[in-house]
A = this chain, B = another copy of it.
Amino acid sequence: MEFKQIISNRYATKSFDGRPLLQDQVDALLELIRFAPSSFNLQPWKILVIKDAATKEKLAPAAWNQAQITTCSHLLVLLADTNVSALIDRLDAQMTAAGVHADQRDPYLKMMRGFASGMSDDQKRSWSQRQVYLALGNALNGAKSLGFDSCPMEGFDPVQFAKILNLPANLVPTVLCPIGYAADVQPAKIRFDKKDVVIVP
């Protein structure tokens, strides 16, 4: 499917028909997400994959009981990883393992460490969360490219989610992406006019 068609056909599915996705489909989507771009390639995210009905039921009240939570096949909880220095260490190890030469690697790592040390905890969270939306974009478009549906959801209580899912403090629930097969019909797309969003000086 061409990208333009993916964008036209993707929409925020309000309810799913409950049919399960195959593990291969979920794995294929996770690969599309894993290869999303991010600032410094630091990939400050984790994707929590929830399949079992009991956990979905437990989470639903913390997402205003929206139908997507319990009717989807898999609920992806996109977590921002705010432990930036640990991410830098991991990327360092990965670049080393990939054979990136120290002459190229060291200045890059130094720049990243300088960048990280200049940020407050709030700024780290904001920065990580912004990157998560690049992963989300790949999840939404990726699902459609693989022939199924999705819904981006900010309407949930991240504190409750962290508690129910027993998450460590550095992983911040940022946005949900239930996936599965739509039980609703795509509505007409409404977007602002080009003149309202594009500025050509």
Contact among B2, B46, B154, B196 with A197 in the assembled complex (CB-CB below 8 Å): B46
Contact among B28, B35, B140, B154 with A189 in the assembled complex (CB-CB below 8 Å): B35
8 Å CB contacts to B: which residues of A152-201? 152, 154, 165, 188-192, 194, 196-201
Give the distance in Å from the alpha carbon of A34 to the alpha carbon of B52 in the complex. 36
Interface string of A129-155 (1 = CB under 8 A from B): 111111011101110010000001010
CB distance from A153 to the nearest CB of B (A): 9
Contact among B10, B34, B134, B197 with A137 in the assembled complex (CB-CB below 8 Å): B134
CB distance from A86 to the nearest CB of B (A): 10
Contact among B49, B142, B199 with A199 in the assembled complex (CB-CB below 8 Å): B49
Contact among B28, B34, B201 with A50 in the assembled complex (CB-CB below 8 Å): B201
Q: Are B98 and A188 in contact (CB under 8 A)?
A: yes
Closest to A52 in B: B201
Closest to A77 in B: B199
How many copies of this chain?
A: 2
CB distance from A129 to the nearest CB of B (A): 6
Q: Are A34 and B192 in contact (CB under 8 A)?
A: yes
Q: Are A2 and B45 in contact (CB under 8 A)?
A: no
Q: Are A190 and B34 in contact (CB under 8 A)?
A: no
Q: Is A55 engaged at the interface, CB distance under 8 Å to the other chain? A: yes
Give the distance in Å from the alpha carbon of A133 to the alpha carbon of B6 in the complex. 18
Give the distance in Å from the alpha carbon of A145 to the alpha carbon of B90 in the complex. 31
Q: Are B48 and A199 in contact (CB under 8 A)?
A: yes
Contact among B49, B51, B90, B130 with A129 in the assembled complex (CB-CB below 8 Å): B130
Q: Which residues of A contact B (CB under 8 A)?
A: 1-4, 6-8, 10, 12, 28, 30-32, 34-37, 39, 41, 43, 45-51, 55, 79, 90-91, 94-95, 98, 100, 126, 129-134, 136-138, 140-142, 145, 152, 154, 165, 188-192, 194, 196-201
Closest 10 CB pairs of A and B: A137-B137, A3-B145, A133-B133, A48-B199, A49-B200, A126-B126, A7-B35, A39-B154, A134-B137, A130-B133
